[in-house]
Structure 1
Amino acid sequence: MDTNLEGFKLRFAEINDVSLILEFIKELASYEKMLHEVVATEEILRESLFERKIAEVIIGEYENQPIGFALFFHNFSTFLGKPGIYLEDLYVKPEMRGKGLGRIILSFLAKIALDRKCGRLEWWCLDWNEPSVKFYKKLGAVPMDEWTVYRVDDEPLEKLATKFLEQ
């Protein structure tokens, strides 16, 4: 679909975009100094995104060249009684930043959220990523300072799962 910026289009990813999506994930992880944490493969992404349909991906193309992506999925707010959209990743190639492409992608996600009767669009941002923090605040995003993110994965996740069966 065309956007209000000439030459910039957005589209939902298709199964033949799996290698491109993985490439963008690795570029983002490298920027975030977390490339060593990427274990996703094309097979895993194909299954998760296109067979199980756990998440959705938007591809941004400028002058017919892929320049970024957004990966998102639905969550649910019990307080609102409505679904929300959680933006897992937003990435625009460094040489394409500053042109308003990220703002357009977020605007499109906000439109999807409203069209789907969602109450929120939310995401995390690394504290050290000052350019992104400024960008998000400029859009009206509010940091949730009073909340701490908790995570259980790998061995602790497996250990916690076994607690379900213990008496």
Structure 2
Amino acid sequence: MNDETNPLSGIVNPAVPTLHFAMRFSSTPRGARLARRLAGQRLDAWGIPYDCDAHHCLTLIVAELAANAVRHGRVPGRDFHLSLTSAVAWDATTVRIEVTDTRTERVPVVVGAVTEVRDSGRGLLLVEHLAHRWDWHPRANGPGKTVWAEYVLPTKG
């Protein structure tokens, strides 16, 4: 499922144009990789080029949230949903990333400082460091949760 909104349609306030991309992915490592790659392509199409710090931060946030949805939010036979929204205000552009899975009982928790050497457990710590804001809420229409993060890009000029 692909949902792409024309930047001029559905704008309530013309001073705040928005772009939107949403898609469902299989709850597999391959689905998480595809979500990261498609998010990167969409960000580039929106004017956030591949070789800038903002693009790297945003794709890393998508990668971590998608990987968590696959690893901790997976319910067999259920997909996860990725949504990207870019809203441009007079002084900044905010990109909001939302990843929704169908597992209710496993909620995101940031572990404090990681002192031991291990291969996993740092994803939300990275998201907390890179995003300007992040949180989670129960899924609106059914079981599960949505984890979201917002990244603010200063406008040029």
TM-score under structure 2 normalisation? Answer: 0.29
TM-score under structure 1 normalisation? Answer: 0.28
Bigger RCO (CA 8 Å, 6+ sep):
2
Q: Which has the higher helix share?
A: 1
Largest Rg, 1 or 2: 1
